[in-house]
């Protein structure tokens, strides 16, 4: 099973209805993604970081996620200052560093982390399956939400098949090294994983059909948003409106 | 004379694998109403295929399947047939796909129109009946092999079927779970067909035996007294064998 380490908990954020959280995340991350000024992105990043702290994530896991994502922004910091922009430059021995590039890299990093905080605070605190059902309830076409739910399930099946084959190879003395044999073995493992998970998927589909499945997954628990959920939604929308307004102010200045 | 049509009737079924010469099953005729039947026969003789044909997972070349005297033709007929006949897969991993046991057991009832509350109740009752109380929130893929088999059985029983089709149910079960399964099957007031190579298991759960030979389904003769050599631990101590 793919772990959902952030989804277990009992904070204010965990208890909220997934539908509400999906709307809130969409609103905030949309504004953050579209904003063009560093102060707005920085404010957004701080606000979402505060939201995240309310959901009380496991610090070790959180920092691991942050590092994973920021490896990508690191590449941006390496490339953009050298290549982006036409304005002022700073001469650093033989390197020409563009100030525009640095600004752009900072903006992208702030946006990336802000959206990441927002997703971790709001979406990661729900289980993937409840998010899938939430999407369907919000009017996302049934086929798409079904695809979402089953891609998630199937990823796990594929992973399991792969581990099983890898174990079989290991038990027969396979140690990977830089040789044709290794690459051949890996290509076989990869091919067999696909074939086997395809077959397995087909058998699971049969099992579902036999139990009356007709294209619609009916969740066993159907949460109804309560008063607290609507207050929560109001606050989230307020935050996104505030950020949107802030970007207008900073543009007009 | 029984005037009611049989629960399930197979008429002149012929099936061959697509793209292969010769048929796997030829002109099969078979009826079952209340019987408890065992299917034996070598691997690849078509036992599982026959189950898949009955459940409408495979298309036959010729012949028809009747449920309570009506031929299965439309998708709606198939939907009904699949509710009334519960098919337990050989591999429970293929049958369990929901994260938790309760969700999996409730899947069938929900699809057949039960409300979430009803489905939850039916599932909890079914689990209790099988001695799986407290398993509701367990993660399906972390169960042991024996537990998986029993949960898979629960996912079928929760649909309240009229008959069970069990494909090698006693495979890879430890003696205690095997015994538990026998007890469950004997206490169910349901007809069943069991595919198995485990003759002792069949003897304790079925009254009649059929085998597939030369593409035909043949009823085996009633039990004959015979003896054979066998070996098992503590065989030198006085002991009894299952009936």
- Measured between beta carbons, the chain A residues lying within 8 angstroms of B119 are 220
- Rounded Cα distance between B140 and B100, Å, is 5
Give the best residue of A208, A212, A219 to mutate against chain B (max B CB count within 10 A). Answer: A212
Q: What is the pLDDT of residue B154?
A: 95
Q: Which residue of A has its CA nearest to B98?
A: A153
Smallest Cβ–Cβ distance between B94 and the set A1, A200, A211 belongs to A200
Q: What is the pLDDT of residue A84?
A: 82
Q: What is the pLDDT of residue A253?
A: 61
Smallest Cβ–Cβ distance between B82 and the set A160, A212, A222 belongs to A212
- pLDDT tens digits, one per residue of B149-161: 999 999 999 999 9
Smallest Cβ–Cβ distance between A220 and the set B116, B156, B159 belongs to B116
Q: What is the pLDDT of residue B63?
A: 92
- Taking 80 as the threshold, does the pLDDT of residue A1 lie above it? no
Q: What is the pLDDT of residue B48?
A: 92
- Taking 80 as the threshold, does the pLDDT of residue A4 lie above it? no
A210/B102 touch (CB, cutoff 8 Å), yes or no: no
- pLDDT tens digits, one per residue of B114-134: 999 999 999 999 999 999 999
Chain A CB within 8 Å of residue B107 CB: yes
Q: What is the pLDDT of residue A12?
A: 82
CB-CB contact of B61 with B21 (8 Å): no
Instruction: Classify residue A6 as exposed, middle or buried by CB count within 10 Å of its CB (0-12, 13-18, 19+).
Output: buried
- Measured between beta carbons, the chain B residues lying within 8 angstroms of A1 are 99, 139, 141-142
Q: What percent of chain A has pLDDT over 90?
A: 36
B94/A214 touch (CB, cutoff 8 Å), yes or no: no
Looking at the domain that runs over B8-219, which CATH code has it been given?
A: 3.40.50.300
* Distance (Å) from the alpha carbon of A196 to chain B's nearest alpha carbon: 12
Q: What is the pLDDT of residue B242?
A: 59
Read out DSSP for A179-220?
Answer: SHHHHHHHHHHHHHHHHHHHHHHHHHHHHHHHTT--S-PPPS
Structure tokens at A17: 């209805």
Q: What is the pLDDT of residue B226?
A: 67
CB-CB contact of B152 with B172 (8 Å): no
Task: State the complex-level ipTM.
Answer: 0.82
Low-confidence ranges of chain B (pLDDT < 70): 1-2, 223-227, 242-243
- pLDDT tens digits, one per residue of A225-246: 889 899 999 999 999 999 999 8
B163 or A94: whose pLDDT is higher? B163
- Tracing tokens 């691991």 back to the chain, one arrives at A64
Q: What does DSSP say about strands B25-32 and B70-71: parallel, antiparallel, or unpaired? A: unpaired
- pLDDT tens digits, one per residue of A32-48: 999 888 999 999 999 99
B108/A212 touch (CB, cutoff 8 Å), yes or no: yes
| Average pLDDT value for chain A | 87
Read out DSSP for chain B?
Answer: ---SPPSEEEEEEEE--TT-SS-SEEEEEEEESS-EEEEE--TTSSHHHHHHHHTTSS--SEEEEEETTEE--SHHHHHHHHHHEEEE-SSHHHH--SSBHHHHHHHHHHHTT--HHHHHHHHHHHHHHTT-TT-TTSBGGGS-HHHHHHHHHHHHHTT--SEEEEESTTTT--HHHHHHHHHHHHHS---EEEE-S-HHHHHHH-SEEEEEETTEEEEPPPP---------TTTTS------
Q: What is the pLDDT of residue B229?
A: 78
Locate the domains of chain A by residue range: 12-126+224-252, 135-210
Q: Which residue of B has its CA nearest to A3?
A: B99
- pLDDT tens digits, one per residue of A130-180: 888 888 888 888 888 888 888 887 887 788 888 888 888 888 888 888 889
Closest CA to B84 of B100, B108, B101, B104: B108
The pLDDT-based confidence of A108 (bands split at 50, 70, 90) is very high
Q: What does DSSP say about strands B62-67 and B8-15: parallel, antiparallel, or unpaired? A: antiparallel
Q: What does DSSP say about strands B208-213 and B216-219: parallel, antiparallel, or unpaired? A: antiparallel
Locate the domains of chain B by residue range: 8-219
Instruction: Classify residue A7 as exposed, middle or buried by CB count within 10 Å of its CB (0-12, 13-18, 19+).
Output: middle
């Amino acid at each position: 099973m793919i772990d959902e380490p952030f989804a277990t908990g009992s904070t204010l954020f965990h208890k909220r209805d997934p539908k509400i959280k999906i709307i809130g995340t969409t609103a905030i991350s949309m504004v953050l993604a579209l904003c063009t000024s560093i102060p707005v992105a920085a404010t957004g990043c701080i606000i979402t970081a505060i939201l995240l702290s309310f959901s009380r994530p496991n610090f070790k896991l959180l920092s691991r996620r942050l590092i994973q994502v920021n490896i990508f922004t690191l590449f941006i910091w390496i490339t953009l200052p050298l290549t982006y922009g036409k304005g002022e430059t700073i001469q650093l021995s033989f390197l020409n560093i563009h100030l525009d590039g640095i600004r752009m890299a900072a903006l992208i990093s702030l946006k990336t982390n802000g959206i990441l905080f927002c997703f971790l605070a709001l979406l990661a605190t729900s289980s993937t399956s409840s998010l899938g059902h939430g999407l369907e309830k919000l009017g996302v076409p049934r086929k798409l939400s079904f695809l979402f739910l089953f891609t998630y399930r199937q990823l796990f099946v594929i992973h399991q098949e792969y581990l099983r084959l890898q174990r079989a190879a290991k038990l027969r003395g396979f140690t990977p090294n830089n040789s044709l044999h290794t690459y051949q073995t890996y290509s076989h493992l990869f091919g067999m994983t696909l074939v086997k998970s395809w077959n397995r998927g087909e058998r699971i589909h049969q099992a579902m059909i036999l139990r009356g499945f007709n294209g619609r997954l009916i969740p066993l628990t159907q949460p109804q948003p309560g008063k607290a959920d609507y207050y929560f939604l109001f606050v989230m929308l307020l935050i996104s409106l505030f950020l949107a307004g802030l970007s207008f102010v900073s543009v007009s200045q | 004379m029984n005037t009611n049509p049989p629960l399930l009737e197979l008429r002149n079924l012929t099936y061959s694998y697509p793209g292969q010469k010769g048929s796997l099953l030829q002109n099969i005729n078979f009826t079952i109403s209340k019987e408890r039947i065992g299917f034996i026969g070598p691997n690849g003789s078509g036992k599982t295929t026959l189950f898949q044909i009955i459940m409408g997972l495979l298309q036959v070349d010729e012949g028809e399947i009747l449920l309570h005297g009506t031929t299965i033709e439309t998708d709606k007929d198939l939907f009904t047939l699949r509710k009334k006949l519960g098919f337990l897969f050989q591999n429970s991993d293929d049958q369990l796909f929901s994260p938790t046991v309760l969700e999996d057991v409730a899947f069938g009832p929900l699809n057949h129109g039960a409300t979430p509350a009803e489905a939850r109740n039916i599932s909890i009752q079914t689990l209790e009946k099988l001695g799986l109380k407290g398993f509701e929130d367990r993660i399906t893929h972390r169960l042991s092999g024996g537990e998986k088999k029993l949960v898979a059985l629960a996912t079928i029983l929760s649909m309240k079927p009229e008959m069970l089709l069990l494909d090698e149910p006693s495979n890879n079960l430890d003696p205690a779970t095997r015994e538990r399964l026998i007890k469950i099957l004997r206490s169910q007031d349901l007809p069943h067909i069991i595919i198995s190579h485990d003759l002792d298991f069949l003897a304790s759960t079925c009254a009649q035996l059929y085998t597939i030979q030369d593409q035909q389904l043949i009823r085996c003769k009633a039990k004959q007294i015979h003896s054979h050599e066998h070996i098992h631990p503590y065989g030198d101590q006085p002991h009894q064998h299952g009936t």
